[in-house]
Amino acid sequence: MLVVAMDSKEPTFRVDIYPKYKANRPAMPEELPAQINHIEQILEAMNIPVFRCSGYEADDIIGTISTKASKDGFKVYICAIDKDMLQLLDKNICTYNIKTGEEINVESMKSNMKLTPEQFVDVLALQGDTSDNIPGVPDVGPKTAMDWIQKYDSLDNLYKHADEITGKRGDNLRTSRDKAQLSKKLVIIDRKTPVEVDYDKFAVKEFDTEALGQIFTELGFSRLITQLHLPNIESEPTKEQKAKKTTNGTTSTKTTKPKYQLIDTQEKFEKFFIKLKNVKRFAIDTETDAMNAMRADLVGISFCWQAGEAFYLPVKAPLGTKHLELKSVKKQLLSILANPDIKKIGQNIKYDMLVLQNAGLPLDGVDFDTMVASYCLDPLRRSHGLDSMALDFLNYQCVPISALIGKGKNQLTFDMVDTEAACQYSAEDADITFRLYEYLKERLDAQPALKKLFEEVEMPLVGVLARMEYNGVAIDTNVLRKMSGRLESEAKSVTERIYELAGTVFNIDSPKQLAEILFDRLGLKSVRVGKAGRSTDAAVLEELTQEHPVIEFVLQYRQVSKLQNTYVDKLGTLINPRTGRVHASFNQTVTATGRLSSSNPNLQNIPIRTELGRQIRSAFVPGSKKDCILSADYSQIELRLLAHFSKDKALRKAFAEDKDIHRFVASQIFDVDIDNVTDEMRERCKAVNFGIIYGQGPFGLSRTIGISQAEAKKFIEDYFARYSSIKDFMQSIISEAQQNDYVETILGRRRKILNLKSKKSMKRSQAERLAVNTTIQGSAADLIKVAMINIQRKIDTEKLPIKLILQIHDELVFELPKNQASKHRAWISREMIDAIKLDVPLKVDVTCGRSWLAEK
């Protein structure tokens, strides 16, 4: 039997007892009602009964049904992790955590907590609940409450001995008896709700598979459709799919059993190679013995140039298994793979390029990456992975890699997999990649602007990123070791100061313990409460900085800890033993704006606004003493793009004359001569200039520059009064987005913007800020991508001794000979400036030195 209980929309009896009950809970997110509606539709299709009861909560319904079922001799499992449920336990009732499989019954509760279910109600009454606004006794947390009830058995007996409790908590206990009694009424689950308990209706029934399949199809639950053997309502090929043809005229949808061939002998290879030589375009996929492309060895290569037919060439295999010797086929494969006239298709082909490069098989002629194509078409898509796209676009379930290599500690590497099984897996990847190429190419052909972006920017960039990752960057571990010692010493000093200000020792890294110190011990006001309890994230702490001196030190501790754990102590461990360099991954299909991200390590997040953060850059050095690190950084690129798009004459003139833009704006806003602008005036205008790009409002500006919201509101109004063209531009972006449902960058990159017509002002404002920010930030991404392509093309064409090693936000970092730095800095700067012609002159700040820290 199975039953689901849900809260009713009407106020419950607890509000009558205490009008402030749940009063501090934020309003339900706008998208949640629709999700609840979907859940109810799913439950209805699964024939699972759902109960709501006016004036009662779901907990009360659970209490009523479980208590009645227990009395009738049924074993009851309450599938919830809510601690309130523990009061319902009896000999037949337990709680069950679906995720972990943990079961709590009366005996385990008594053993672990030394409490009965009845006593736990008193514990809840004493500790209260901030999320439900149940008062409890001030300064009494779960541990204290449990200790008291364990000692005195009940709330009533505790109050009989209240004089025995000393200190502040004892005073609070004695003065808060009414609060404790009220809290007990609020936390007790009512087990007498007017719900009908009919076990026949609770019996598990067959699903309405058609209705469930319809819902899961609409929600994109493709894997659940497969696992539950449900009909996929969209399983029939669409008109678009039916019209789509492969090179030999067959449909792209899989209709016949695929033909995958294992090429594991020299004789088979010769026959395969005769076919390969006559192909002008094919999909390629590599198999390796590791996830990291720069540390992996090539295990096999698969090829496909016709849907439903693919070939797998193993070059490593389990001991005693037939496979090709790479050295015996390398020359023939190289003639194909390195030929730029033969076009290659791949899924995340940058990975394959790196693997093949390391195997001595450089890949040229890269023409189409299905992952990048999917990203261009829909940057907000939940996944651009092969398996996900196969399900969504081809209605095809790929064989999971875990089926071959397993999971966890017993996981195999691919070179240990039987070659027949490896063939079916790898050849399928090449086959599906080719089918996705056909599907995605047709979609791109229908959108010329996106097709141009894909062909002229994103695909050429794949090769640039592959080269940049292959180059890597050298790291001076001696610098890191010295920094680690300094950070460790600073962390210890800050920790001692925090303990001193807090008046106790605690785990600063524990959000729960930190919350108890700040909000219970020190009495600060909790700003935000979430599912995990009272928040102590950075935004909350920033808001509390003026409330207590300990906050500043906690923020400082976190910064030092992050620098040490994320970069200083980790960078050295990421050095590749083969190359002696760190090879970060630069991700092209992650951010919705078009900007690149990086991982392993995430170099984009190295803080440069603090001296400690900047010092990390000093560990990034050239690999040779004869070389130097050259950094070329766009100056105020987003503000220049704002001036370009808004066509504001004053801003464009100021940039043309290379004026300090923040001082110039301040002179206009404050109506003073530019020479009379104070540093404070400049800082205020700098905050507004950058805040405009990110849609910062009066609240955000007031916190940034330390003025009242009223002053900030007036300041923004004055800004827009002076620069009405900027306001007009922003409004035009929003209006076009409302009409089209998307915004475009300078090169036609598109991003869908949700909630622009939301009835919730906060959601709508966020969407409007996102529309403006995406247009500007996405255009900056377009600009630097074009610059990277042009610069790398010149390096390759002229065979220059320069390595592009990093791209961080608006900055490119190179490694090159010291004695040629002045010659090369000029043309690199020029290529960046000329990447895309704007109405505003671009400026690039260039530095060169013995490390990335070289001052500008």
**% of the chain exceeding 90 in pLDDT:** 63
Instruction: Tell me, yes or no, whether 354 and 277 share the same domain.
Output: yes
- Lowest-pLDDT choice from 222-231, 542-551, 702-711, 738-747: 222-231
Q: Is residue 453 part of a domain?
A: no
What mean pLDDT do residues 273-299 have?
Answer: 96
Q: Tell me the CATH number at 47.
A: 3.40.50.1010
Q: Is residue 389 part of a domain?
A: yes
> What pLDDT shows up at residue 102?
85
CA 132 – CA 138 distance, rounded (Å): 15
Task: Report pLDDT digits (tens) over 119-171.
Answer: 999 999 999 888 788 989 988 888 899 999 999 999 999 999 988 988 888 99
At 715, the pLDDT band (50, 70, 90 cuts) reads: confident
Task: Report pLDDT digits (tens) over 30-79.
Answer: 667 777 888 988 999 899 999 988 889 999 999 999 999 999 999 999 99
CA 554 – CA 560 distance, rounded (Å): 10
Instruction: Tell me, yes or no, whether 249 and 398 share the same domain.
Output: yes
> What pLDDT shows up at residue 240?
40
What mean pLDDT do residues 512-520 have?
Answer: 90
Instruction: Tell me, yes or no, whether 33 and 147 share the same domain.
Output: yes
CA 194 – CA 64 distance, rounded (Å): 9
> What pLDDT shows up at residue 236?
43
Our measurement of the distance from residue 94's CA atom to the centroid of its chain's CA atoms, rounded to an integer in Å, reads: 36
Residue ending a domain, choose from 535, 552, 580 = 580
> What pLDDT shows up at residue 581?
96
State the chain's mean pLDDT as an integer. Answer: 89
Q: Is residue 159 part of a domain?
A: yes
- Whether the pLDDT of residue 453 is over 90: the answer is yes
> What pLDDT shows up at residue 848?
95
Q: Is residue 40 part of a domain?
A: yes
- Whether the pLDDT of residue 250 is over 50: the answer is no
Of 238 and 151, the structure prediction assigns the larger pLDDT to 151
- Helix (H) or strand (E) holding 5, with range, is strand 4-5
Instruction: Tell me, yes or no, whether 523 and 671 share the same domain.
Output: no
Q: Is 366:353 a contact under the CB 8 Å cutoff?
A: yes
Instruction: Tell me, yes or no, whether 269 and 339 share the same domain.
Output: yes
Q: Is residue 428 part of a domain?
A: yes
Q: Tell me the CATH number at 548.
A: 1.20.1060.10
What mean pLDDT do residues 296-319 have?
Answer: 95
Short-list 65, 3, 106, 89, CA closest to 190 = 65
Q: Is 844:639 a contact under the CB 8 Å cutoff?
A: no
Short-list 69, 38, 64, CA closest to 51 = 64
> What pLDDT shows up at residue 532?
60
- Helix (H) or strand (E) holding 631, with range, is strand 627-634
Q: Residue 609's CB: how many other CB atoms inside 10 A?
A: 6
- Whether the pLDDT of residue 241 is over 60: the answer is no
Strand ranges (DSSP E) for 753-851? 803-808, 811-817, 844-849
What mean pLDDT do residues 327-346 have?
Answer: 97
Q: Tell me the CATH number at 667.
A: 1.10.150.20
Of 766 and 627, the structure prediction assigns the larger pLDDT to 627
- Whether the pLDDT of residue 403 is over 90: the answer is no
> What pLDDT shows up at residue 245?
36
Best-predicted range by mean pLDDT (333-347, 391-405, 560-574, 587-601): 333-347
> What pLDDT shows up at residue 692?
75
> What pLDDT shows up at residue 348?
97
Report the DSSP beta bridge partners of residue 301: 286, 313
> What pLDDT shows up at residue 242?
38
At 232, the pLDDT band (50, 70, 90 cuts) reads: low
- Helix (H) or strand (E) holding 287, with range, is strand 281-288
**Number of residues assigned to the chain:** 856
Q: Residue 789's CB: how many other CB atoms inside 10 A?
A: 20
CA 58 – CA 40 distance, rounded (Å): 14
Instruction: Tell me, yes or no, whether 396 and 251 share the same domain.
Output: yes
CA 469 – CA 805 distance, rounded (Å): 7
Task: Report pLDDT digits (tens) over 760-798.
Answer: 888 888 899 999 999 999 999 999 999 999 999 999 999
CA 806 – CA 470 distance, rounded (Å): 11
> What pLDDT shows up at residue 8?
83
Short-list 570, 545, 220, 555, CA closest to 382 = 220
Instruction: Tell me, yes or no, whether 338 and 411 share the same domain.
Output: yes
Residue ending a domain, choose from 430, 446, 462 = 446
Instruction: Tell me, yes or no, whether 196 and 247 share the same domain.
Output: no
Q: Is residue 843 part of a domain?
A: no
At 604, the pLDDT band (50, 70, 90 cuts) reads: confident
What mean pLDDT do residues 587-601 have?
Answer: 93
- Whether the pLDDT of residue 443 is over 60: the answer is yes
Q: Is 792:804 a contact under the CB 8 Å cutoff?
A: yes
- Whether the pLDDT of residue 705 is over 90: the answer is no
Q: Which pTM does this prediction carry?
A: 0.71
CA 218 – CA 397 distance, rounded (Å): 18
Strand ranges (DSSP E) for 524-592? 529-530, 533-534, 585-587
Of 313 and 401, the structure prediction assigns the larger pLDDT to 313
At 594, the pLDDT band (50, 70, 90 cuts) reads: very high
Instruction: Tell me, yes or no, whether 70 and 27 share the same domain.
Output: yes
> What pLDDT shows up at residue 306?
96
Q: Is residue 524 part of a domain?
A: yes
Q: Is 298:357 a contact under the CB 8 Å cutoff?
A: no
* Total number of domains in the chain: 4
The CA–CA distances, whole Å, from 160 to 154, 204, 374, 449 equal 10, 50, 70, 79
At 227, the pLDDT band (50, 70, 90 cuts) reads: low
Domain that includes residue 759, residue range:
644-775
> What pLDDT shows up at residue 386?
95
Strand ranges (DSSP E) for 24-113? 50-51, 76-78, 93-96, 103-104
- Lowest-pLDDT choice from 80-89, 406-415, 543-552, 570-579: 406-415
Residue ending a domain, choose from 720, 752, 775 = 775
Instruction: Tell me, yes or no, whether 281 and 419 share the same domain.
Output: yes
Q: What angle do CA 744, 745, 750 make, to 5 degrees?
A: 40
Q: Is 735:729 a contact under the CB 8 Å cutoff?
A: no
Amino acid at position 496, single letter: E
Q: Is residue 825 part of a domain?
A: no
Instruction: Tell me, yes or no, whether 441 and 478 share the same domain.
Output: no
At 239, the pLDDT band (50, 70, 90 cuts) reads: very low
Contacts of 717 (CB under 8 A, 6+ apart): none
> What pLDDT shows up at residue 845?
95
Instruction: Tell me, yes or no, whether 111 and 177 share the same domain.
Output: yes
- Whether the pLDDT of residue 530 is over 90: the answer is no
Helices marked H in 292-401: 326-337, 349-358, 370-377, 386-394
